[in-house]
């Protein structure tokens, strides 16, 4: 009987890992659809961001109360992974609580800590559910989240609560079985939380308790493996990608816009034609700005997959606050959706077959792009260092330089700068007139 269970466990575990790895590979491929660029900053500067933003969750603490709750869930999930390790080893080896003899008196302390964290995770997730579904916080009610994204958030929170309840129930049954001296249930000492819950199941027969403990054990680990495979389809992927994303984020001042060396070179040759003679002729026509996924950098796409749709960006966006269509969160969600669409196209056809669609217009409208004030509030707010502004500005470059699509006032401004060296129609000769007046 034992060997059958072990076998089933190994199969379930291997299948979960295989499926996850396969989907992770697809996401990696989708991210690498983006153009290459060299991330700016020394490794030391970038590790600093990983430590502060990803591990330390520095920006979450701009809203301290939520930050503490989120920290419980985060710490809970990371630390409880140690327990998952024991569960997996038990599953493979057919043992029960393998670490008990190794850790001795420390074992119940460790499990006690996990249990406290489990309770905090339940508490955090319950409050998060209330904030989303009962208090209906504005940033969770945005149109961007209609449909699947809103359900996604609830599924994640409910799953986490269920997994933690299974873990606690399993331990509670185990504690009672230990006191009854049941086979295989060696004494571990008292667990802090489940030790208090034993009266709830005291009335169960020993057989019933074993069934309860085994059922919870299986549901818990199968739930964890299923959740692992849910991640790549969900906004919850941020628990993995927050780390690389903060590592690759640009460390320079946010006011800096990306240079376009192709345009720089062209203008240089125009201003200094004597340089042109020594210039090797180029037969590639450069592309200006971004229209679709491959025109963006892979960091833009990593950003999109790292987004957990919390909406802090949109809540801080001056355009969104004043009722414009622009929502930085939607920019990120659209980018991910389009990257997935292209990825599925590649998967189906072997290579990308033109689907007549693009990120620009089919997902993100000109009206949205035109509303941006480049104020960097979205960049400032993002807890995992996503930069929606970089995508917006690249799409704007495409509109203006590839399609000559700009509002009439902007075209006027361009020609004023070109002809009068100022965005308004003033004579350059009057530039220092103010100095003559008193």
Partner 1 sequence: MTIKTMAEYAAGGESPEVLFWVGCAGSFDQRAQKITKAFATILEKAGIRFAILGKEESCTGDPARRAGNEFIFQMMAQNNIQVLNGYGVKKIVTACPHCFNIMRNEYPELGGHYEVIHHTTFLQQLIDEGKIRLLEGGSFKGKKITYHDSCYLGRANNIYEAPRKVLEALDAELVEMKRCRSNGLCCGAGGAQMFKEEEKGTTRVNFERGREAVDTGASVIAANCPFCMTMLTDGVKEAGKEESVQVLDIAEIIARQLGD
Closest distance to partner 1 from the beta carbon of 73 (Å) = 25
Which one, 152 or 292, has the nearer CB to partner 1? 292
Contact 24, 232 (CB under 8 A): yes
CB of 286 to partner 1, least distance (A): 11
Closer residue to partner 1, CB minimum distance, 108 or 328:
328
Q: Contact between 316 and partner 1 (CB under 8 A)?
A: yes
Which residue in the set 322, 350, 353, 356 belongs to the binding site for partner 1 (CB under 8 A)? 322
Whether 292 contacts 359, CB under 8 Å: yes
Residue 436: DSSP 8-state: G
Which of the 8 DSSP states describes residue 283? -
User: Minimum Å distance from CB 248 to partner 1?
Assistant: 19
Please, are residues 393 and 63 in contact by the beta-carbon 8 Å criterion?
no
Place of tokens 């060296």: 421
Shortest distance in whole angstroms from residue 338 CB to partner 1: 20
* Residue among 183 and 432 whose Cβ is closer to partner 1: 432
Q: How far is the CB of 381 from partner 1 (least distance, A)?
A: 9
- 287: contact with partner 1 by CB under 8 A: no
Q: Specify whether the CB–CB gap between 342 and 285 falls below 8 A.
A: no
Nearer to partner 1 by Cβ, of 81 and 415: the residue is: 415
* Among positions 101, 321, 352, 361, the unique one binding partner 1 when judged by CB under 8 A: 321
Q: How far is the CB of 267 from partner 1 (least distance, A)?
A: 4
Q: Helix %, strand %, coil % for the chain, to 5?
A: 70, 0, 30
Per-position x/- string for 237-276, each x denoting binding to partner 1 as judged by CB under 8 A, each - no binding: ---------------xxxxxx-xx--xx-xxx-xx-----
Report the distance separating Cα 128 and Cα 135, nearest Å: 10
Q: Which of 212, 225, 120 is nearest to 166 (CA)?
A: 212
Supply φ then ψ for residue 135, to 5 degrees: -75, -25
13 or 40: CB nearest partner 1: 40
Can you tell me which of 157, 296, 372, 385 binds partner 1, judged by CB under 8 A?
A: 372
| Residue from 122, 371, 384, 386 binding partner 1 (CB under 8 A) | 371
- In the complex with partner 1, which residue's Cβ is closer, 323 or 356? 323
Measured from the CB atom, is 177 or 372 closer to partner 1?
372
14 counts as binding partner 1 under rule CB under 8 A: no
Kindly state whether residue 419 participates in binding partner 1, applying the rule CB under 8 A. no
Mark residues 18-57: x for contact with partner 1 by CB under 8 A, - for none.
Answer: ----------------------------------------
279 in contact with partner 1 (CB under 8 A): no
At 222, which helix (H) or strand (E)? helix 206-230
Write out the binding residues for partner 1, residues 325-344 only, by CB under 8 A: 325-326
Say whether residue 410 binds partner 1 (CB under 8 A). Answer: yes
| Least CB distance to partner 1 at residue 379 (A) | 7
The footprint of partner 1 on this chain (CB under 8 A) covers a number of residues equal to 69
Q: Taking the CA of residue 187 as centre, how many other CA atoms within 13 Å lie in the half-sphere pointing to its CB?
A: 6
Q: What ranges in 32-147 are assigned the alpha helix state H? A: 43-49, 64-93, 99-103, 106-133, 138-141
DSSP state, residue 250? -
Under 8 Å between Cβ of 218 and 178: no
Binding status of residue 431 toward partner 1 by CB under 8 A? yes
Decide: 108 and 152 in contact? Cβ < 8 Å.
Answer: no
CB nearer to partner 1: give 36 or 432: 432
| Of residues 340 and 402, the one with the C-beta less far from partner 1 | 402
Taking the complex as a whole, how short is the minimal distance between the CB of residue 328 and partner 1, in angstroms? Answer: 13
Smallest gap from residue 81 Cβ to partner 1 (A): 34
Q: Give the DSSP letter string of 304-342.
A: HHH-----HHHHH-HHHHTT-S--HHHHHHHHHHHHHHH
Token couple for 50: 């990983």
State the Cα–Cα distance between residues 194 and 173, nearest whole angstrom.
8
Please state, in angstroms and rounded to a whole number, the distance separating the CA atoms of residues 9 and 76.
24
Q: How far apart are the first and last CA of the chain?
A: 98
By CB atoms closer than 10 A (0-12, 13-18, 19+), residue 220 is buried
| Residues that bind partner 1 in the complex, under the rule CB under 8 A | 62, 252-257, 259-260, 263-264, 266-268, 270-271, 288-289, 316, 318-319, 321-326, 367, 370-377, 379-380, 393, 396-401, 406-407, 409-410, 412-414, 417-418, 421-424, 426, 428-435, 437-438
């Amino acid at each position: 009987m034992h060997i059958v269970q072990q076998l089933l466990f190994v199969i379930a575990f291997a299948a979960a890992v295989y499926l996850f790895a396969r989907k992770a590979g697809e996401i990696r491929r989708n991210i690498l659809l983006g153009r290459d660029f060299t991330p700016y900053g020394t490794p030391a500067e970038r590790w600093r961001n990983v430590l502060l933003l990803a591990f330390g969750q520095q920006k979450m603490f701009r809203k301290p109360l939520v930050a503490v709750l989120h920290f419980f869930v985060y710490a809970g999930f990371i630390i409880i992974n140690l327990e998952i390790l024991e569960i997996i080893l038990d599953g493979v080896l057919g043992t029960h609580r393998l670490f008990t003899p190794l850790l001795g008196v420390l074992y119940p302390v460790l499990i006690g800590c996990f249990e406290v964290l489990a309770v905090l995770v339940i508490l955090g997730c319950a409050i998060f559910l209330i904030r989303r579904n009962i208090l209906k916080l504005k940033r969770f009610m945005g149109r961007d989240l209609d449909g699947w994204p809103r359900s996604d958030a609830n599924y994640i929170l409910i799953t986490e609560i269920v997994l933690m309840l299974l873990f606690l129930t399993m331990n509670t049954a185990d504690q009672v079985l230990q006191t009854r001296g049941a086979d295989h249930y060696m004494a571990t000492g008292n667990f802090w939380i489940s030790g208090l819950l034993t009266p709830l199941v005291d009335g169960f027969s020993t057989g019933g308790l074993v069934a309860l403990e085994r059922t919870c054990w299986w549901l818990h680990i199968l739930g964890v493996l299923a959740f692992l495979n849910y991640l790549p389809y969900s906004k919850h992927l941020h628990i993995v990608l927050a780390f690389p994303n903060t590592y690759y984020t640009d460390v320079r001042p946010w006011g800096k816009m990306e240079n376009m060396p192709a345009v720089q070179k062209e203008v240089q040759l125009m201003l200094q034609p004597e340089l042109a003679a020594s210039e090797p002729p180029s037969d590639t026509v450069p592309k200006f700005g971004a229209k679709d996924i491959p025109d963006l950098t892979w960091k833009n796409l990593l950003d999109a997959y790292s987004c957990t749709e919390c909406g802090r960006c949109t809540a801080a966006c001056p355009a969104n606050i004043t009722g414009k269509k622009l929502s930085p969160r939607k920019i990120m969600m659209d980018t991910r959706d389009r990257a997935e669409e292209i990825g599925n196209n590649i998967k189906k056809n072997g290579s990308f077959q033109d689907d007549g669609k693009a990120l620009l217009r089919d997902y993100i409208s000109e009206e949205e792009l035109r509303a941006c004030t480049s104020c960097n509030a979205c960049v400032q707010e993002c807890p995992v260092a996503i930069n929606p502004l970089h995508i917006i500005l690249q799409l704007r470059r495409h509109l203006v330089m590839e399609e000559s699509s700009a509002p009439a006032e902007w075209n006027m401004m361009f020609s004023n700068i070109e002809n009068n060296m100022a965005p308004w129609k003033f004579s350059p000769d009057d530039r220092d007139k103010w100095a003559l007046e008193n």
